[in-house]
C-alpha cells in the first residue's frame, strides 16, 4: 500500500506570494491533517479534514487555509507569504474508524522557503 | 491546552550506551505515539501505547506508558548510529477518535556517535 505523498517536495517563494501544497493520503484513509514544523516551535497543528469537512483547526491566521476533495486528497494554501512561514509542512493521514486509537502516518513533507 | 514536555531536549552519546528519554504531561491521554524523524523527512511511527503501565518492545527500543496515562518513556539499549534522529511523542485525547487530535511534544534530538 502506497504511503502518504506530498507535492512538491521543495518550494521557494517570495514574500507576498501565495502557495498551494498537495497531499494524497494512504488509500482508504479519510482524515488528513496538516502540520507546520520549525526548529523553534516544533510540530504545530494547522487543521484536520475528514470527509471534505474541517474537523479541527489550530491557532494559525486566516492566511492558512485548506480543503479536501471527495477522493480524500487535500490541499493547503498560504496567502500573502511572510518570512516566518518558511518551514517544513507535513501532511498526515489516518483511518478514523471505530478503533480505540487512530495511528497517524506522515508524508515526507514540503520544504517551503520564503525569501 | 494540553502540553507534552519531552526531555532531555538534546542528547549526544557514544555507540553502545544505553539511554532513556521522557515525555510528560499533566493531562491524561487515551493513547500515546512515538515517532522518529530524520532530517528533511516526515516522522515515522514507531509505536502506540494505549493501556496504563503498558510496555512495548521494538528490537532495542522499549516504550512504557505511565500508569496514569500522563507520561511515557523510551529506553534504547546499546544505541547505534542508525538510532540518530528526532524522537517525537504525541498524545491523543479522545478514546474513540471522534473529533480527536494529536498533541505533539517538541521532540528529543538524539545523536549517536560511532
CB-neighbour burial class of residue A3 (10 A; exposed 0-12, middle 13-18, buried 19+): middle
| pLDDT at residue B86 is higher than 50 | yes
Do residues B43 and A90 make contact, with C-beta atoms less than 8 angstroms apart?
A: yes
Q: Which residue has the higher pLDDT, B55 or A41?
A: B55
| A107 grid coordinates | 508524508
Q: Order of strands across the sheet with B55-58? A: B5-7, B19-24, B71-76, B61-65, B55-58
Q: Which of B64, B61, B36, B35 is nearest to B49 (CA)?
A: B64
| pLDDT at residue B98 is higher than 60 | no
- A 4-63 residues inside an 8 A Cβ radius of B: 4, 33, 35, 41-43, 45, 48, 55-56
Do residues A99 and A32 make contact, with C-beta atoms less than 8 angstroms apart?
A: no
Pairing of strands B44-49, B31-37: antiparallel
The average pLDDT across B34-54 equals 93
Chain B interface disruption, residue of A11, A41, A43, A48, most B CBs within 10 A = A43
B30: left (phi over 0), alpha (psi -120 to 50) or beta: alpha
| pLDDT at residue B97 is higher than 60 | no
How do residues A34-91 score in pLDDT, each as one tens digit? 999 998 888 999 999 998 999 888 899 999 999 999 999 999 999 999 999 999 999 9
User: Which residues of chain B make contact with A103, given a CB cutoff of 8 A?
Assistant: 33, 45, 48
Cβ-nearest to B40 among A102, A107, A111:
A111
Interface A-B: count of C-beta contacts within 8 A: 68
How close is the nearest chain A Cα to the Cα of B13, in Å?
21
CB within 8 Å: A45 and B101: yes
CB within 8 Å: B44 and A4: no
CB within 8 Å: B41 and A108: yes
The average pLDDT across B42-62 equals 94
| pLDDT at residue B95 is higher than 60 | no
Amino acid at each position: 500500500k502506497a504511503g502518504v505523498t506530498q507535492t512538491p517536495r521543495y518550494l521557494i517563494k517570495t514574500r507576498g506570494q501565495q502557495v498551494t501544497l498537495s497531499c494524497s493520503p494512504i488509500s482508504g484513509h479519510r482524515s488528513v491533517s496538516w502540520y507546520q514544523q520549525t526548529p523553534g516551535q516544533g510540530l504545530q497543528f494547522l487543521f484536520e479534514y475528514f470527509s471534505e469537512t474541517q474537523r479541527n483547526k489550530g491557532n494559525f491566521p486566516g492566511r492558512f487555509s485548506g480543503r479536501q476533495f471527495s477522493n480524500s486528497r487535500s490541499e493547503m494554501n498560504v496567502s500573502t507569504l511572510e518570512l516566518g512561514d518558511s518551514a517544513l509542512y507535513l501532511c498526515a493521514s489516518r483511518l478514523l474508524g471505530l478503533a480505540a486509537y487512530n495511528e497517524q502516518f506522515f508524508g515526507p513533507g514540503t520544504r517551503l522557503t520564503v525569501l | 491546552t494540553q502540553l507534552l514536555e519531552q526531555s532531555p531536549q538534546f542528547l549526544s552519546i557514544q555507540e553502545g550506551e544505553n539511554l532513556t528519554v521522557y515525555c510528560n504531561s499533566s493531562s491524561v491521554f487515551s493513547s500515546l505515539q512515538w515517532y522518529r524523524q530524520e532530517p528533511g523527512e516526515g516522522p515515522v511511527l514507531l509505536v502506540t501505547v494505549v493501556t496504563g503501565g503498558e510496555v512495548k518492545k521494538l528490537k532495542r527500543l522499549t516504550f512504557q506508558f505511565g500508569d496514569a496515562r500522563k507520561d511515557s518513556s523510551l529506553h534504547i539499549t546499546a544505541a547505534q548510529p542508525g538510532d540518530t534522529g528526532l524522537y517525537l511523542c504525541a498524545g491523543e485525547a479522545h478514546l474513540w477518535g471522534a473529533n480527536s487530535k494529536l498533541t505533539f511534544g517538541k521532540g528529543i534530538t538524539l545523536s549517536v556517535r560511532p
